[in-house]
Homo-oligomer: A and B are copies of this chain.
Amino acid sequence: MRRLSTQDQNFKQQFADLLAFETVNDPELLKTVDQIIADVRANGDTHVLALTQKFDRHPAQHFSDLELTQTQLKTAFDGLDDEVRQALEMAANRIRSFHEAQKQDGWTYVDALGNTLGQKITPLDRVGIYVPGGLASYPSSVLMNAVPAHVAGVQEIIMVVPAPNGELNPLVLAAAYLAGVHRVFTIGGAQAVAALAYGTETIPQVDKITGPGNRFVAAAKRAVFGQVGIDMIAGPSEILVYAEGKNNAKWLAMDVLSQAEHDTVAQAIFITPDEQLLNAVAEAIEEHLANLPKAEIARTSIANRGALVLVKDRDEAIALINQVAPEHLELSLDDAEQMSQEIRHAGAIFMGRYTPEAIGDYCAGPNHVLPTSGTARFSSPLGVYDFQKRTSLIMCSEQGVKPLAKTADILAQQENLDAHARSARYRYQ
């Protein structure tokens, strides 16, 4: 695993190179995706079925074979081991509690002129949740997308999940049941995104599509953005662990690996001012890798994109963290809460030695859909906010409008918008 020190002569460049990661906009991919979207718009169910048979080798004969019933979801849920069902329930309950705290009410106030101003909050009518199938089929993602939508008050939640060869992870269906997903279609790829964005004979058009997917899904989401809302275009997973003081190197090493095992292009960075700890963590990572099922993925990830970084002090670490704007940040030290106040950019901060990132992936409560690739500079974890929208409210009184109408008249004239000016003028003259 790469070692860097802020004392290195060319540290700045080395660190910048470490962070550089650009998803290539493959023109062929975009063309393929645009064609799929156009074909789904033109031929609806028929084309979605054909692509699902082709790409997913799904045995469905009719489009209706691609929809699951609530009974199928319930059967999956009822079939779970007690231990797993209880774990899933605890996760759902904690995610729900946290997101309940995000709910916002509208408000109005009356200004000094007697005019009422405010905003109302309305849930989205219908949303689509994309859940990856096959290798990366995560029941936790079902909860993290569907529960906030439910808490927001969305009336209809439609889930799509590809079923390669017609096979599905029962835990994904159980999670859909638990989270109150209304309809489930076993479709995926750009065709699923297109079907949700434009609707087909069977699949109703949604207002927003959330959830992660492969590059076809990401490209399709970008293409339909505007037609529907989308959450974000997620990049590879990231963790940045900062530690100082008394720490267990084995714990920290496993925390680092917990993101590295996701993906060969995931990014795991460990930062400390303690060279002895740095050495111990490096050693523990090697030890863990010796018997980790996903050792090969993790090894590639840390070799390509990982780093152990020695800093002079905590201030240097804070500057680096704000430069990275990591998706997941662990602060493993005594006064983590105080240090967290200096962090301007991070998706989620895990504070103290008893808060491994992994609990955030499943059951801490906050969302695990977080901004990646430095986008925490300007974007936020998925939340109830993503499933509601605001409408501004303005109601003027006959007297109260007059000063406003005069001002609007004057400014509209400056902008050469005469109908605006006259429309305002009617209300004060």
Contacts and interface: CB of A to CB of B under 8 A. Distances in A.
A207 interface: yes
Interface string A108-132: 0101000111011010110000000
A405 interface: yes
Contacts of A391: 343, 345-349, 376, 380-381
Interface residues of A, number: 126
A381 B117 CA distance: 14
A362 B407 contact: yes
Nearest to A403: B90
Contacts of A107: 101
A161 to B, nearest CB: 14
Contacts of A346: 391
A393 B363 contact: no
A294 interface: yes
Contact of A229 (B119, B122, B349, B379): B379
A292 B419 contact: yes
Interface stretch (A4-12, A53-61, A309-317, A408-416): A408-416
Given A226-B375, A393-B351, A411-B363, A358 B424 contact: yes
Interface in A376-404: 376-381, 383, 385, 389-398, 400-401, 403-404
A171 interface: yes
Contact of A392 (B229, B370, B377): B370
A52 interface: no
A88 B411 contact: yes
A304 interface: no
Interface in A160-174: 171
A265 to B, nearest CB: 16
Interface string A335-379: 011001001111111111011111111111111001101011111
The 3 closest A-B pairs by CB, nearest first: A229-B378, A366-B392, A348-B392
Interface of A: 23, 25, 34, 83-84, 87-88, 90-91, 94, 97-98, 101-102, 107, 109, 111, 115-117, 119-120, 122, 124-125, 137-140, 171, 207-208, 222, 225-226, 228-229, 233, 248, 250-251, 254-255, 257-258, 260-262, 288, 292-294, 298, 336-337, 340, 343-352, 354-367, 370-371, 373, 375-381, 383, 385, 389-398, 400-401, 403-408, 410-412, 414-424, 426-427
